[in-house]
Amino acid sequence: MPDEAAPFLDLAGAAPVAASDAGSRSSAAAMSDAARPDAAMSDAEAEPDTSGTGSVPGTRIVGGAEHMVLTLGGRRIALVRSGIGFVNASGAVVGALLTYGIVPVISAGSAGGLATSTVVGDVIAGRTYVNTGADATAFGYRLGQLPGMPAVYAADPGLLEATEAAVGHGQNVVAGTIGSSEKFVTAEPARALREAFDQILAVDMESAAIAQACHNHGAPFVAVRAISDLCAPDGSEFLTHVDDAALRSARVVEAMVAHL
């Protein structure tokens, strides 16, 4: 029988082993190699998502992802730190769904603001998700669509409603499209993405992969990502604001759980 825990929160980026990426605009990108320049930043990303929880009985590793079962807002949840990128994120989701059953999935963390209307500190509730790295247009598919899969993945309406109910405390929560790829988007790639995907509000490295995994397994899903940067020429803006972005995202998710 699956372990009892719902909902499952995926915090993209935290890995029990050192990752090769410098960071993924994620809520928890802790590295085991303390010498990495992003290690301290990554630890700060992880903290907001556990600071408001009840006792943590311990952790276990499932397919490379770190699992903690704990209490948040009176609800029993599984907190899963997946690792950076599509393979780590989708693998963590599948491992969690096989472990706990088909439960609601919430991806918390940070993202880069792609639309000119977004500002640092906004919280984006993903209404739809697109894989910006997918290109099968040679076979008649839409840009961002994988063969045999939807052009976009839609968030669960009930989870979106819970996100809207959680709005408050001075946070600006905007529902819209999140784009994902295995690329940390800086200024030059951002210009190309704005031309190709004019509906995208924010970009990260995990949400679309998680959305596809949840689509395949019939699990309700929503991503709640706070804007840490505006796709600057380098990663310095991300490093400056990622801790605050993680906190904003975590607080919205914490309030969401109370409405589920």
Instruction: Quickly list DSSP for 191-207.
Output: HHHHHH-TTEEEEESSH
Domain count across the chain? 1
**Assigned domain for 220 exists:** yes
Q: How many residues does the chain have?
A: 260
In a domain, 2, yes or no: no
Within-domain flag for 3: no
Q: Would 245 be classed as within a structural domain?
A: yes
Contact present, 221 and 159 (Cβ < 8 Å): yes
Residue-level pLDDT at 161? 93
Q: What is the pLDDT along the chain (260 residues), one digit of tens a residue?
A: 566 655 666 655 433 222 222 334 543 322 222 222 222 223 434 444 555 444 445 788 888 899 998 888 778 899 999 888 999 999 999 999 999 999 999 999 889 999 989 999 899 999 999 999 999 999 999 999 999 999 999 999 999 999 988 876 567 889 999 999 999 898 889 999 999 999 999 999 999 999 999 999 999 999 999 998 898 766 565 655 566 778 888 888 888 888 87
DSSP letter for 16, please. Answer: S
Residue 1 lies in a domain: no
The amino acid occupying position 150 is: P
DSSP letter at 60 equals E
Q: Residue 220: which domain range?
A: 8-258
Residue 92 within a domain: yes
Q: Where are the beta strands (DSSP E) in the chain?
A: 8-11, 59-62, 65-72, 75-81, 105-113, 123-131, 153-154, 173-180, 200-204, 221-229
- The pTM (predicted TM-score) of the whole model is 0.81
How high is the pLDDT of residue 14? 38
Q: What is the CATH number of the domain that holds 70?
A: 3.40.50.1580
Q: Let me know if residue 70 belongs to a domain.
A: yes
